């Protein structure tokens, strides 16, 4: 029996800390849609809310939707505390998606420094 797709609740932010909370079963695809302003009339496009600052994973979409509703019911201060607890610098957690990894070089290998030789 195939496993159900993973679901995510996510929080996006603008430079002015406007927040958007959403749910999806394909986080990378959904964030790409937000960043590209796929729907120019959407709330996230109008206010340039495109920085992924927080997300949680769930095994079922039902659990993710339940959590999304819970977060949307919180006061703004509590949402900010949640983001800061895991991402204090408000970094865009999706900024490196799709970028190539640097090639592996044998010359970068070093002997462990915590073990006796």
7-86 maps to which CATH number? 3.40.1440.10
9-45 pLDDT tens trace: 999 999 888 999 999 999 999 999 999 888 889 889 9
Q: Where are the domains of the chain?
A: 7-86
Residue 61 has pLDDT above 80, yes or no: yes
Tally of residues, the chain: 117
The structure tokens listed for 13 are 């932010």
* CA–CA gap between residue 47 and residue 86 (Å, rounded): 24
Q: For 77-94, write each residue's pLDDT tens digit.
A: 999 999 999 999 999 999
Of 90, 109, 82, the residue nearest 50 (C-alpha): 90
């Amino acid at each position: 029996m195939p496993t159900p797709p993973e679901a995510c609740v996510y929080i996006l932010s603008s430079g002015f800390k406007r927040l958007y909370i959403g749910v999806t079963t394909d986080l990378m695809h959904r964030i790409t849609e937000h960043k590209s302003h796929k729907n120019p009339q959407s709330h996230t496009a109008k206010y340039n809310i495109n920085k992924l600052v927080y997300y949680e994973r769930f095994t079922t979409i039902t659990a993710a939707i339940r959590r999304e509703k819970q977060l949307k019911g919180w006061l703004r201060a509590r949402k900010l505390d949640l983001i800061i607890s895991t991402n204090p610098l408000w970094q865009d957690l999706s900024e490196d998606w799709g970028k190539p990894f640097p090639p592996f070089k044998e010359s970068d290998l070093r002997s462990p420094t915590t073990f006796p030789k």
